[in-house]
Amino acid sequence: MPEGALVQNDYYIYQLNGENIYDSKTFYNICIDVLPTDPPLAKKDSPNFDAFSDSIRGGISEQESDKVAVIWTKAQNIANNNLNDLFRIIQIFYDISTSLNEDYFDITIDLLIFLVDNGQNFPVFDGE
């Protein structure tokens, strides 16, 4: 796992346990409990990902660190159950990361996302 290298490089780390994430709805509802949100979001049966993106971007921008990492473990669950939702979520994280690296806020923030698992789609991380 990349935690050691992230800590050494002063990243603030959020752990997202994907054990119960198998589609976009479960992802949304678990994320709003783990990731910072501004404005706060409520759990929903039909998530609004535009509001999610804005809220996560706002929450991360309020953190004291300009280096933030999300380590999503057991990501194979959503890959096995709803690959299209995983692709959509990856695009959302990409958009959030890109906007945080622009001069949109007072500081630029380096946001890294790691999808970690032991499944066939996840190669062994060697730390380099």
Full set of structural domains in the chain with CATH: 3-116 (3.30.370.10)
Average pLDDT over residues 108-118: 90
Q: How many CB atoms lie within 10 A of CB 34?
A: 13
Residue 95: what pLDDT? 94
Average pLDDT over residues 78-93: 94
CA 104 – CA 83 distance, rounded (Å): 31
pLDDT at 104 over 60: no
Residue 128: what pLDDT? 54
Taking all residues of the chain, what is their mean pLDDT, rounded to a whole number? Answer: 89
72 contacts: CB under 8 Å, gap ≥ 6: 16, 18, 21, 113, 114, 115, 116
CB 120 within 8 A of CB 126: no
- pLDDT 10s digits, 90-103: 999 999 999 888 76
Residue 117: what pLDDT? 86
Average pLDDT over residues 15-23: 96
Residue 126: what pLDDT? 64
Q: Answer with the residue of higher pLDDT: 64 or 55.
A: 55
Residue 122: what pLDDT? 72
Q: Answer with the residue of higher pLDDT: 85 or 106.
A: 85
Q: Indicate the pTM of the whole model.
A: 0.87
DSSP string over 51-90: HHHHHHHHHHHTSS-SEEEEEEESTHHHHHH-HHHHHHHH
